[in-house]
Structure 1
Amino acid sequence: MLPLGTSAPPGRMDEELPDGLLFKDHDFSSELLRQLNGFRQNRMLTDVSICTGTQEVPCHRSVLASSSPYFRAMFCSNFRERREAKVQLKGIEAGTLEQIVSYVYTGQVRITADNVLPLMEAASMLQYPKLLEACSSYLQSQLTPSNCLGMIRLSEILSCETLKKKAREVALTRFPEVATSADLKELCALELRDYLGDDGLCGEEEKVFEALMVWVKHDLQARKRHVQELFEQVRLQYIHPAFFHHFIANEALLQSSPSCRTILETAKRQMFASYVTTSAPDLQPPWHVPPRTSYQDFLILLGGRKDNQETTRDVLLYNRQTNQWENLAKLPTRLYKASAVTLHRSIYVLGGMAVGAGKNVPSHNVYIYSLKLNQWRLGQPMLVARYSHRSTAHKNFIFSIGGIGEGQEVMGSMERYNSIFNIWESMASMPVGVLHPAVAVKDQRLYLFGGEDIMQNPVRLIQVYHISRNTWFKMETRMIKNVCAPAVVLGERIVIVGGYTRRILAYDPQSNKFVKCADMKDRRMHHGATVMENKLYVTGGRRLTTDCNIEDLASFDCYDPETDTWTSQGQLPHKLFDHACLTLQCIPHIHTSP
């Protein structure tokens, strides 16, 4: 036992026992190896030389046998090496052998870009798993889209599962960059099919198709027989219809395959049915594949009026992992009462009153936002300048409805944007021109609920537009009295969210009946609403207080139809109303990563 007030020297962790003291010297084994390494370097007590080519490295059989199953089998079994003074190792370079032996005696080795591969091969061959794993960790830190496929091949040769797993993760999450690498062209058909069919592949389907075509055309004669099985891995329902129309539908390689032609024809009917046939809802693609798991839903707010009631250019993204709001690229200009929709992984902002520069005039401009690039660009302008209008998207189209025109008149006109051909066209006008109705599309029909007339009186109408027939009809109903309220499709119903009321109404188009849902806390209008993962999210707006004053809101609430309950999600960064509230489904990139 140590004298009072003293401590055990470094390396000692003594343990008192009932009948004495258990002395532990944790430096002993390392000191022993250090001494043995000194003997080896001075060729003292060595009893075998490990040779490669002309290089000889003197060692102790007992140390080698203790360090790896490979040498244990060599020196402790009835192999001839057990008795030989010199043992030849094939396939290992002299410098690598020196490093391996040094590692055996010291437990240390320096891994660099120049020596990692031969070290890894030697560690695999000579059965040093910790050294193999250390080399694997180094290579994992060096993984890039240009080398990950080669690393996967290496990991398979060396049976290194951790490297294989990490390299495959890079190949899937950075697929658009991997697709441009030379290694992709060298994959066999089965390997490429495995990547293209993986649910975790992180890349737009357009990139998946392009990678497939690059691979096939790299050796057309040998590979064209694989076109069908590979083409089936492309999830055509998530490809931009314009891309499909211009680059896929008439691709000669696909047209030469009867099976691929069948897939193309079915995809055409599914994509373009809304102006070809009235039976589109009954059509189903031959594959029932959800979007890849890399696609995520993002809740985005843009424009509107904030705290001091000035029209804002802010664009905000809600990060569900951190419950924080992040700023995206601002709107190119201030727009009062514009409308916004999502279509084909982009946001379209339509019209509005252009604010500033000394005069306020209705705009016919269309601005398109890409979350992938975090950039805005100017799109094809509408035929008519309008604000206080409503817009909605269906299949390949955007419908822009009503609003106030350049002469400050209430318009009943509607125009439609065709995203395949990038053109706007006039459609049938609504029966009754209204402002601020709730709008949604369900089962080939566009529904306008309520709204207000030029005198700001509520209009108790449902106006229904049949998309394929380009015809309207209207229905009077006492249930409708909403103004400045959004509508969303939630399951099989269209939900009208408030509008100078706290009431939530779910409309069933099949039965033409309304069902009341749990009320909101406030009488709310000028708010935003969207659906994510079958839940309704409501943002900002204005509320009527009990004494009939109007108060701006920064509230952020969620409605769960399963439980018919509301919960608060916190607050917006500031009070906001007359804004767009949208769900954008796309693949996250650096600035949107959770």
Structure 2
Amino acid sequence: MLTTLADVWIGSGDLCRRDRTRRVPKPELVQDIPLSSSVDPSALFELWSEGLLCDVVCEAADGSSFNAHMVVLAASSAFFRALFAGAGAHMQEGKGFGGPRRVVLPGISGETLRDILTSLYTRSLRVTPESIQRIFAGSSLLQVEPVYEACARYLESHITVSNCLQVLQLTAMYGSEDLHRSVVGFVRQNFAEVVRNDAAAWQELPEELLSEVLGGGSVAATSQAELDAFQAVACWVEWDRGARGPLLPLLLHQHVQLHRLPPACLRSKVAEHPVVRGNPVAAGVVDGVLKEAVEDALARRRVSMERAAPPQSRTAASTGVMVLGGHEMGWHTLRTSETYDPQDDSWQQGTSLPAAMSAGLSFVGCADVCGAVFVIGGSTFHSPVAKLTAGAAQWEMCRPLITPRVNMGVAASAGKLFAIGGRTGPGVGQVLSSVEVHCPGETGSWARVADMPSPRASLGAAALGGSLYALGGQQGRTIYDSVDVLDLETGEWRTLGGTMGQARKYVSTGVVGGRLLAIGGMNSQRARLSSAEAYDPREGRWHAVAPMSVPRSSAGVASLDGRLYAMGGNSCGDVVLDTVEVYDPAADRWRTTAPMPTPRAGLGAVALGAL
């Protein structure tokens, strides 16, 4: 009897016995060895092309039929797998031993079925501009993922201004979320050219796709972009005024920022457009916006004339807004400050921050305390503080925070400056619930007060009516919609019963008209927000107000003359903004003002008195 390898290994001790009947190899002697190829694709194609070993016949809608192997189809398609081995097995014809099974596939042409089967057996798909649509549709219906994904890649790499609207409709009919997002993004980026190039295809879009394209906020917020949006809406409505005309007022409200258009353009290009003139409700909306635009223009003209007059009625210095610190694109820290004069809608360079502040200026907080502007630098290892007093030519360094922190909330009330929450320590650090207070008129030092109920970083903070509000922010992966409130008289914290309508981190906060406003920020899906909401302590609830024109997180906010200014911040695609818009609570609307000279996010902002 020949000696086996196993006997040799046993004798050498490489293979050991567990008992009398079972031999157990060492773990390193047990291996799964991959094969170079378990199936020869060319052999499989040869079997199919010659009709050998085929066990199913697929019949197309036009009656043409093709032999195939069930195992190949089931391995490539969830539809065929369910048909042959799952819940759809009863749909087959000719089951048994009398011949191959027959499957009827209504809705699939013979040409398409042939192309799909050929691609499965050759592992290659040949497409042309003439065939791509039917193969994409057919592979979607039959759930043949390899063919479907190949078609999606082909379409994505061949999107043009001429075909993007047709591809958009295809993705809406047959899925492919990634391709759909790509096409929507392409249409938004080339919006005006797309609509001009193929108005007929634009008019054929269903309302849902129209709203998706127009509602993305990706088009630059300019008057020309808004005019393009209006003309696109008008073109779509014009195709069927009877059915679509009633939608015009809603579409204008949702997708066209009419207040961005100059009065002359509003009058000649919008109010006089046939679809608007023929729609009394839409005409009323446009007339209302036109009236506001004319009033705003007259008000600006009056201000300009007043400034041209002798300045005897004016004080030595105007009130305005200061922005400072933060970062620009590429996370370059900014030491500069800039001031805005609302009377002539202009910006001027301000006093640069001290070099000692440089390490903590990417995210800063600031507030006005007794006529002096205090700025707190944000860093996990050092939080410097500086102040600029009225008439001073440079900033003065103050005592730093007790606990270094970044992404904190900063607010002032009754001559005291508060630093709230934030993050400290190396790496991602620890989220803080601690609060520090600074009393400039006393020792000039910082002291600890009661901790917040919830640790928060990237929060908003503001003082209103004897209370300090800490809202939104995050701890770990939790984004808060809750609000903690400190009673400045008793020194005790509580959590508001009502939450915000939207969880927000990197949220900006301000007070105007006796109400607390939460503006922009970022949600749990890391989408930046343009929405805003207000809290009135007298009502005890939050409610939505008009959204900003663009999403903003880490923006600067300041309240001046009964209006709230939102400045800079990050927007979609991490773009750092220089734009500024101001909220009028009486009209519940935003309007743009002159942009800042320097784009910045993570900035501090404060309303000025006589600085």
The normalised TM-score by structure 2 is 0.44
The structure richer in strand per residue is 1
The normalised TM-score by structure 1 is 0.45
The structure richer in helix per residue is 2
